Amino acid sequence: MPSFTVESWWTDHLSQGGGGGRNGSGQAGSGFDPGDLLEEKAERPGHYRLSIEGVDKFDTAFYTRFGLDVAQEDFSFGWSGAGSGYTIGNSVTLNSEVWQLIPENQEFTLAHEMTHSVQYGELGTGGFLSRYLPEWCRGQDANYGIPDSLLGSPVNMSNIVSPSYTLDQIAQQNAHLVVPDNTIGWWKRGELN
């Protein structure tokens, strides 16, 4: 009998979502415009990296504070459940429909998901998933709303995985710090008081 791990459950769970994306294959489909922040990898069709503009936008925030080389992140478009995207290590899958319907939220989504890459680096895949899954199951309001005690606080290596907050609350706060003019976000700042 195969052994159960959080990683295998999560991988199986995600694979059962079907292809998603515009052509059902998990890719965005022909004619898809990823915007100015991403560019398709010639060596790996259907996968994207940050464009020069994207690296310029995020490099200082992530490399200086967390040591994350944003140029090494891998992005693809496909099924992501009900959300804008999900992250496994340094691989981010984005919901192509949300990406194109709400382009003003693209920077925020990238900052949120790349924060999860930093958290994976700190906790490891098993540590991240064993913590994230129970938090995620509590529901969106409890998981994403930024409590007052975190609002306005800088996010750095000392609190990137603080047990006082959910991993998504920390990612939301960091995304608001990286993209301060974002007024959309999935759950606005201070929703949980």
136-192 confidence digits (pLDDT tens): 888 877 888 899 999 878 899 889 999 999 999 999 999 999 998 765 544 444 433
Whether the CB-CB separation of 66 and 118 falls below 8 Å is answered with: yes
Looking at the predicted structure, is the pLDDT value of residue 9 above 70? no
**For the segment 30-87, what is each residue's pLDDT rounded down to a tens digit?**
667 899 999 999 999 999 999 999 999 999 999 999 999 999 999 999 888 768 899 9
pTM, full prediction: 0.81
Output the pLDDT for position 182.
62
3-state secondary structure of 176: helix
**For the segment 88-139, what is each residue's pLDDT rounded down to a tens digit?**
999 999 998 889 888 889 999 999 999 999 999 999 999 999 999 999 888 8
Distance in angstroms (rounded) separating the CA atoms of residues 150 and 118: 18
71 residue type, one letter: A
CA nearest 95: which of 14, 192, 9?
14
**For the segment 79-91, what is each residue's pLDDT rounded down to a tens digit?**
887 688 999 999 9
Domain boundaries, the chain: 34-178
Sign of the alpha-carbon torsion through 90, 20, 129, 112: positive
